[in-house]
Structure 1
Amino acid sequence: MSTLETPRPPLPPFTRESAVLKVRAAEDAWNSRDPERVALAYTTDSAWRNRDSFVTGRPAIIALLSAKWSREQDYRLVKDLWAFTDNRIAVRFQYECRIAGQWYRSYGNEQWEFAENGLMRRREASVNDLAIAEGERRFLWDAPAPRPQAYPGLAGVNG
């Protein structure tokens, strides 16, 4: 096995508990804002649809995330498990960021498909953005860093 394909537990087939762990690990990695760290959770030939972008492979994922986080300042993300099956997980998420001085909250969902080694081989993300005032922000922990364990998730959050 190549070091580029090092297994990423938890491995499929997923249980509710292992799916929740997988979602939180993804959230924590994305909150690091480190494109190379994030890309290690994906197969070397992972296929993505992110908004209107279609990319394949880790170098393209790193490029997409690098551009994203150079544009989206003060990024903070929360993901919640929506559903799961043997090797698939669906999540809903919200993140907040500042672009050219304007704060946004982005709402979305993702569908993930995993290889046997626990790396994600397919990711499809749909995202909508809403301009918000700075005083409307919800995600206020120090960043870049994981969301603190005691910080609430999306349960009970509407809009």
Structure 2
Amino acid sequence: MSQSAKTESRPPFPPFTRESAEQKVRMAENAWNSRDPERVALAYTPASRWRNRAEFPTGRTEIAAFLTRKWAREFDYRLIKELWAFTENRIAVRFAYEWRDDAGNWFRSYGNENWEFDEHGLMQTRIASINDIPIREEDRKFHWAPGPRPEDHPGLSDLGL
């Protein structure tokens, strides 16, 4: 590992408090809503390991490639993450995101993630379980402009999701 990789950091750092865990979750949500694979990949260690459905990317290059493929087929992507639980260097999150395919069909994807961080605040492990449910366009709940969810937009619990 290069010296720069050893000194990279992404606050807040473990051990997490409720406040710092919630901050970490919102930062992740904002990054994913950017739909910028390279930006998102920088939140992970250079050797980060993922389980995402049937894919198991390892390292930033594979993570960025995975996200590039994902967002090439998931249009109008909007994501909300919510803290579920936390410990010293681990955070559990539940999430939902809405997207449409190239045929115009809308989906809401529900999932849970388990995150483990190194001492520099970089995620070293991400385990995700996700289910996709077809929805009608009129049943969508995530209507903000592309990019981060506005601060005043309801979260998952507020939306009954």
* Aligned equivalent of 2:125: 122
**Cα RMSD, aligned residues only:** 1.1
Q: Unpaired segments of 5 or more residues in structure 1?
A: none
Q: Are the equivalent residues in 2 in contact too, given 1:5–1:43 (CA < 8 A)? A: no
Q: Are the equivalent residues in 1 in contact too, given 2:5–2:46 (CA < 8 A)? A: no
Sequence identity percentage: 63
Q: State the alpha-carbon separation in 2 of the partners of residues 4 and 14 from structure 1.
A: 21
Q: Runs of 4 or more off by more than 3 Å in structure 1?
A: 156-159
Q: State the alpha-carbon separation in 1 of the partners of residues 36 and 6 from structure 2.
A: 17
> Which structure has the highest helix share of the two?
2
How far has the Cα of 1:156 moved from its partner?
A: 3.9
* Aligned equivalent of 1:56: 58
One-letter amino acid of the structure 2 residue matched with residue 78 of structure 1:
I
Q: How many residues align?
A: 158
Q: Are the equivalent residues in 1 in contact too, given 2:49–2:56 (CA < 8 A)? A: yes
* Aligned equivalent of 1:150: 152
How far has the Cα of 1:5 moved from its partner?
A: 5.1
How far has the Cα of 1:6 moved from its partner?
A: 1.4
How far has the Cα of 1:150 moved from its partner?
A: 0.4
Could you say what secondary structure the match of 2:20 adopts?
A: helix
Aligned residue among 19, 22, 25 for 1:20: 22
Q: Unpaired segments of 5 or more residues in structure 2?
A: none
> Which structure has the highest strand share of the two?
1
How far has the Cα of 1:4 moved from its partner?
A: 7.2
How far has the Cα of 1:158 moved from its partner?
A: 3.8
How far has the Cα of 1:3 moved from its partner?
A: 4.9
